[in-house]
């Protein structure tokens, strides 16, 4: 069996399942938002009330986490395929991870408050 240093114990099936699961969650969240927009009068008050609910906050965090996992796997695959210099690829991967963590914590603080 061949061990790849860049895989960190993951395999293609694991990535495939994560991509599909996160895509399903993102699709459900999109349907949830579109149905709210289509069937309600959009104003600041209704939008604030919509996002004040715990279900919407939790679903938004799950959707945000899904987007970030989806983005990480996609960017990891692109960087692994196209950046051959290990140091450059490692630096870019660290930068991507830092950016994704920044997005996660920004979403967390915006939704749930500091």
Pair 26, 70: CB distance under 8 Å = yes
The pLDDT value recorded for residue 11 is 79
Dump pLDDT digits (tens) for 81-93: 999 999 999 999 9
Cα–Cα distance for residue pair 72/67, rounded to 1 Å: 9
Q: Average pLDDT over the chain, rounded to whole?
A: 90
Tens of pLDDT, residue by residue over 69-78, are: 999 999 999 9
> What region does 8 belong to: left with phi over 0, alpha with psi -120 to 50, or beta?
left
In this prediction, residue 98 carries a pLDDT of: 96
Q: Interhelix angle for 54-82 vs 12-38, to 10°? A: 140
């Amino acid at each position: 069996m061949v061990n790849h240093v860049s895989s960190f114990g993951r395999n293609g099936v694991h990535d495939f399942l994560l991509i599909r699961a996160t895509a399903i969650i993102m699709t459900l969240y999109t349907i949830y938002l579109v149905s709210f927009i289509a069937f309600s009068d959009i104003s600041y008050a209704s939008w604030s009330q919509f996002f004040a609910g715990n279900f919407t906050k939790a679903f938004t965090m799950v959707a945000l986490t899904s987007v970030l996992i989806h983005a990480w796997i996609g960017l990891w695959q692109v960087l692994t395929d196209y950046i051959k210099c290990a140091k450059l690829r490692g630096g870019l991967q660290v930068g991507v991870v830092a950016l994704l963590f920044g997005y996660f914590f920004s979403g967390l603080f915006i939704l749930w408050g500091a």
